[in-house]
C-alpha cells in the first residue's frame, strides 16, 4: 500500500539496548582474547599449524573490541557521533574486518580439520606453518578488499555531530543494498557453505568408522558445536536482518509502507548485538585448540576459591584474637 508518508521507526530501542551489550562484550572479550593470545604467544615454539588461524582470529577480535567504547558513547548520546567522519569510517571498517575476518579464519580452521581427518596421509608433512601464514595474509587482503567499498559510502549525517551509520544514509540506500547482497554472498554464504560441507563430511566419516582416535573425534565434534553456535547465533541472523532492514528502508524511501518495518528494525538491533558477541565467543576456539587452557582455568578457579576461603576465615581469626 502506498502512502504519502510512512510511520516513523522507533530508534529509542537501540539507544537503550546496545550500550550495555557493547560494554559487556568489551570487558569479557578483551579479557578472554587477551588471555588467549598471551597463552598462544607463550607457547609459540609449540605452535601448531591451525593455531596460526586462531592467533589471527584473536587479533581481529582485539581490533574491533578497541572501538566499542566509542560506540558506547555514541549510543549513550542518542546517536550523536562526535569523533569525526574519518574515525566513524575507521570504526565501521574495523567491525567489518573483525566480522568477515572471523568468518574467514573459522573457514580455514574447518578446512584444515577436514583435511587432517578425511585426508590425513595426503596432507601429512605437506602443510607447514609458512602455508598457514600465507593463507592468513590472503584472508586479510581479501576481507580488506571486500570491506573497502563500504568506506566510500557516506557514514555521517550533519556537520560536526550526527549519525555514524553502520551502513549508509538514506540517499544511497538502494546502491548499498545491492552491494550488501553481493558482500553477503562472497563474505558469508560461500564460507558458510564451505564450512558446512567440510564438517558434514567429517560427521559422516566419524559415524562410519571406528578407527579414528576417540580424542580426535571428541575435539572435532566440540569444534563443530562451537562453529554451529557462532554461525547460527552470530552470523546468520545478522546478515538476514541487515539486508531485510535495508530493503525496508528502500521501500520507506519510495513511500511504500510495511507494517513489519519497525519489527525488522528492532530485530536488526538484536542481531547487531548478537554478531558483536562473536568477539567474546571466539575464545572458545582457544579452549578447544589449546590443551593447556582448560588446566589453567581450573587453576584459576581453585585459586579464587582459596582466596575467598582465606577472606572468610581471616575476620573470624582476628575477632577471636
Model confidence at 318, in pLDDT bands (50, 70, 90)?
A: very low
Give me the pLDDT at residue 144, please.
95
For residue 303, how many other CB atoms are within 10 A of its CB? Answer: 10
Q: What integer is the mean pLDDT of 161-171?
A: 85
Give me the pLDDT at residue 270, please.
93
Give me the pLDDT at residue 94, please.
93
Give me the pLDDT at residue 47, please.
55
Instruction: Give the Cα separation of 127 and 146 in Å (integer).
Output: 27
The superfamily (CATH) of domain 12-295 is: Rhodopsin 7-helix transmembrane proteins (1.20.1070.10)
Length of the chain: 321
Give me the pLDDT at residue 43, please.
67
- Please say if the pLDDT value at position 174 is more than 90: yes
Model confidence at 321, in pLDDT bands (50, 70, 90)?
A: very low
- Please say if the pLDDT value at position 262 is more than 60: yes
Q: What integer is the mean pLDDT of 254-270?
A: 86
User: pLDDT tens-digit profile of 3-33?
Assistant: 445 666 667 888 889 999 999 999 999 988 8
Closest CA to 173 of 244, 264, 86: 244
What is the percent of the chain where pLDDT is above 90?
A: 40
Model confidence at 284, in pLDDT bands (50, 70, 90)?
A: confident
- Please say if the pLDDT value at position 1 is more than 70: no
Tell me the three cell numbers of residue 200: 558434514
Instruction: Give the Cα separation of 266 and 161 in Å (integer).
Output: 24
- Please say if the pLDDT value at position 293 is more than 80: no
Tell me the three cell numbers of residue 222: 566440540
Tell me the three cell numbers of residue 66: 578497541
Give me the pLDDT at residue 73, please.
93
Give me the pLDDT at residue 193, please.
94
* Most confident range, picked from 41-45, 104-108, 212-216: 104-108
Tell me the three cell numbers of residue 102: 572471523
Model confidence at 303, in pLDDT bands (50, 70, 90)?
A: low
- Please say if the pLDDT value at position 202 is more than 90: no
- Please say if the pLDDT value at position 240 is more than 90: yes
- Please say if the pLDDT value at position 127 is more than 70: yes
- Please say if the pLDDT value at position 258 is more than 60: yes
Angle of the 85-118 helix axis to the 190-208 helix axis, nearest 10: 20
Per 3-state DSSP, what percentage of the chain is helix, strand, and coil (rounded to 5)?
Answer: 80, 0, 20
H or E element that contains 80: none
Q: Positive or negative CA dihedral for 232, 71, 263, 185?
A: negative
More confident: 159 or 7:
7
Give the C-alpha distances (Å, rounded to integers) separating 84 from 117, 161, 305: 50, 8, 47
User: pLDDT tens-digit profile of 41-80?
Assistant: 776 666 567 788 888 988 999 999 999 999 999 998 888 8
When mean pLDDT is compared across 106-120, 135-149, 242-256, the lowest value belongs to 106-120
Domain ranges of the chain: 12-295
More confident: 313 or 115:
115
Amino acid at each position: 500500500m502506498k502512502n504519502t508518508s510512512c510511520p516513523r521507526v522507533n530508534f529509542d530501542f537501540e539507544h537503550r539496548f546496545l550500550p550495555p551489550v557493547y560494554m559487556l562484550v568489551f570487558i569479557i572479550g578483551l579479557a578472554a582474547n587477551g588471555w588467549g593470545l598471551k597463552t598462544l604467544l607463550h607457547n609459540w615454539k609449540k605452535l601448531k599449524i591451525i593455531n596460526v588461524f586462531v592467533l589471527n582470529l584473536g587479533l581481529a577480535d582485539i581490533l574491533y573490541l578497541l572501538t566499542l567504547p566509542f560506540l558506547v558513547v555514541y549510543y549513550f548520546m542518542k546517536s550523536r557521533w562526535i569523533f569525526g567522519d574519518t574515525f566513524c569510517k575507521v570504526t565501521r571498517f574495523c567491525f567489518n574486518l573483525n566480522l568477515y575476518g572471523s568468518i574467514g579464519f573459522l573457514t580455514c580452521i574447518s578446512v584444515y580439520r577436514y583435511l587432517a581427518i578425511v585426508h590425513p596421509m595426503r596432507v601429512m608433512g605437506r602443510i607447514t606453518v609458512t602455508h598457514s601464514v600465507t593463507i592468513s595474509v590472503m584472508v586479510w587482503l581479501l576481507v580488506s578488499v571486500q570491506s573497502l567499498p563500504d568506506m566510500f559510502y557516506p557514514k555521517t549525517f550533519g556537520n560536526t555531530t550526527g549519525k555514524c551509520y553502520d551502513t549508509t544514509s538514506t540517499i544511497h540506500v538502494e546502491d548499498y543494498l545491492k552491494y550488501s547482497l553481493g558482500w553477503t554472498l562472497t563474505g558469508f554464504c560461500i564460507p558458510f557453505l564451505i564450512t558446512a560441507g567440510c564438517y558434514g563430511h567429517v560427521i559422516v566419516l566419524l559415524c562410519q568408522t571406528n578407527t579414528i582416535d576417540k580424542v580426535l573425534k571428541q575435539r572435532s565434534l566440540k569444534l563443530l558445536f562451537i562453529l554451529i553456535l557462532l554461525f547460527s547465533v552470530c552470523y546468520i541472523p545478522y546478515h538476514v536482518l541487515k539486508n531485510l532492514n535495508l530493503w525496508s528502508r528502500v521501500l520507506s524511501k519510495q513511500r511504500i509502507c510495511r507494517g513489519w518495518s519497525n519489527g525488522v528494525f528492532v530485530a536488526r538491533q538484536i542481531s547487531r548485538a548478537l554478531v558483536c558477541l562473536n568477539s567474546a565467543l571466539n575464545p572458545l576456539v582457544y579452549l578447544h585448540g589449546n590443551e593447556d587452557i582448560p588446566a589453567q582455568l581450573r587453576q584459576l578457579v581453585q585459586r579464587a576459591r582459596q582466596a575467598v576461603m582465606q577472606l572468610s576465615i581471616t575476620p573470624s581469626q582476628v575477632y577471636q584474637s
